[in-house]
A and B are shown apart, each in its own frame.
Chain A
Amino acid sequence: MVDKNNVILSTRGLTKVFGFGRTKTLAVDRVDLDIHKGEVVSIVGESGSGKTTLAKMLLGLLNPTEGEIYFQGQLRDIRSRKKKQEYWKNIQAIFQDPYSSYNTFQKIDSVLLDCIRMRGGSRLPKEQKIEMMTEACGFVNLKFEELTNKYPFELSGGQMQRLMIARIFLLKPKILVADEPTSMIDACSRATILDFLMQLRDEVGMTVMFITHDIGLAYYVSDNVHIMERGKFVESGTADQVILHPKDWCTQRLINDVPKIHEEWDLSTVEYPT
């Protein structure tokens, strides 16, 4: 699936600095990243390592302090509002908290209709729109008939996150940035969400960038894994390479910190920060 020659999104020397003077924080430090078409790439790191800042810069929600972002081989240009909207047709995101991702006053039909409109389908006949929405809901095992005329808060967390994926299915962006999509929902729904992300890659041919602090999840879904620590990539490679044979101590620590069932989980190595 992964097209090694086709780099869809890449960054060169991407840097983000927050604040200035004494309170200056280097959130992302000269990151070079290549995302190939049709792969699931994971960014793993503990909180505060700069994963989300990197994602926000790729999404165009934050301006980088330094460095360039290339989209499909060309320097990304989102200086005008129109160009930004054009860019967002190609890249979309799922965020951590499904409860705050939706507009409370917007009905679910309208959420999905907005996606069709964004793809230029606002003049399609009504029947075709309903068919498209039903198909999208069916993709994530939801029933569109049961969702009509409902508000997002009437759904459970897992259902909301699945609806988010249905939105992505309708929008069909080239790249999906999933920023810890499973950390707020329980373990049973988590497997479903991860399987849908993999289906998006296999069936729709989407490129997925998966951000998480749980290296187990990254191992399950991704082709390539980047380990991030203090704004830098400390280890990169294929999932098997990085997780089964970690070289950097940050990777080893991340793997040790996840509870396991076949190997012993060593608590004696934990050091409290002072």
Chain B
Amino acid sequence: MSNVILEVNDLSTKYITRYEESVYAVDHVSLQVDETKSLGIAGESGCGKSTLALSLMGYYFPPLHYTNGEIIIDGRNISGMAPDDVRKSILGREIAYIPQAAMNALNPTRKIINFIEDVVQAHDMYVNKKEIYERARSLFETLGLPAEVLQKYPVELSGGMKQRTVIAISVILFPKVLIADEPSSALDVTSQKMVIKMLKQLLETGFISSLIFITHELPLLYNVTDDIMVMYAGQIVEKASAHDAVFDPLHPYARGLMGSIIVPEDGLRDVKLTAIPGVPPNLKDPPSGCRFAERCRYVRAECRGASVQLREVGRDRTYRCIIPEGELREIYEKEAEKYGR
């Protein structure tokens, strides 16, 4: 029985716009991450992946507002805490977040060691600079970053090096959960591999207890994480193990995503990639029934009625569709025969 590190029950958050309209970007999301495990979140742009990451930290600032649900990190409920308490005792220590353009977040006029001093001193004022330097140096060396980086300015580092430095800074206080939001999407493939190796190393050596990895690159998720959760329009539409999510997706949207995978393997040129037509719905006024109905190939009249609940199939596997599992599989099989794949 493994230890649950992060548990989220029925979390909903919304954005309130200038015109007092509510945009429900995260809608009743429940998830669970065990110790030493990693969870991947997939979906196209505008599906609420990044908002979910922000919401998980429990630190809300306008226009993002908390609606309901609870976030439990290692047995401690953080959802009702005051923002200042969250910032001092949760962020960085319990949960750390690497935003999308993290490498551009470094102030060009300061050395890397200054950022580390800031992070450590914000949480523990009585550490002297020498101690911080020693701690940073040992962490950097474990993670394969040269110690000279500490004395450099951000402009002296390459993109991949900057990104790895930011990750190292964010884990200096050994947080339990690390949320990485597209940490490698601005890098080339070689630097991307280094970033991924570093994240895996952090998880293996126990610097962090669990990892949440957000990206739209499915081959990457498949190789990095244990479980994959597919999000669409603020909701979870499918959650399965990495293998099942890629090779045997049940939800039509998840299946559509798999149609856009491009890998340099034999046979890629024989299949025509399929993109899902249309765009995600506007969450100011989400459709009453299934949110994917407008773009779904297998849409039925019942789809547009009441909201669709998550269905459980087997162990640790859920999907959100009105069509039962057996029937869905039949449809997919027929289609595969027809198009020969």
Residues of A within 8 A of B (CB): 46-47, 141, 156-158, 185-192, 194-195, 213-220, 239-240, 243-244, 253-255, 257-263, 265, 267, 270, 272-274
Contact = CB atoms under 8 A, between A and B. Distances in A.
Given A46-B190, A257-B189, A267-B193, A219 B269 contact: yes
Interface in B240-267: 246-247, 256-257, 259-266
B222 A261 contact: yes
Interface of B: 44-46, 144-146, 159, 161, 187-194, 196-197, 200, 216-220, 222-223, 246-247, 256-257, 259-266, 268-269, 272-277, 279
Contact of A254 (B144, B189, B257): B189
Chain A contact residues, majority secondary structure? helix
A164 B64 CA distance: 33
B157 to A, nearest CB: 11
Given A46-B189, A259-B220, A260-B219, A267 B197 contact: yes
Given A191-B274, A272-B145, A257 B216 contact: no
Contact of A220 (B191, B268, B279): B268
Contacts of B275: 188-189, 191-192, 195
A220 B261 CA distance: 11
B260 A187 contact: yes
A187 B216 contact: yes
18 contacts: A46-B188, A46-B190, A47-B159, A186-B45, A187-B257, A188-B216, A189-B44, A190-B260, A194-B262, A213-B188, A213-B189, A214-B189, A216-B263, A257-B192, A257-B193, A260-B264, A263-B265, A272-B145
A191 B259 contact: yes
Contacts of B272: 195
Contacts of A239: 269
A262 B264 CA distance: 10
A166 B319 CA distance: 38
B217 A259 contact: yes
A27 to B, nearest CB: 16
B188 A47 contact: yes
A186 B216 contact: yes
A185 B185 CA distance: 10
A59 B217 CA distance: 31
A270 B189 contact: no
B202 to A, nearest CB: 13
Contacts of A213: 188-189
B146 A274 contact: yes
Contacts of A218: 264
Q: Which 3 A-B pairs have the closest CB atoms?
A: A272-B144, A191-B273, A257-B189
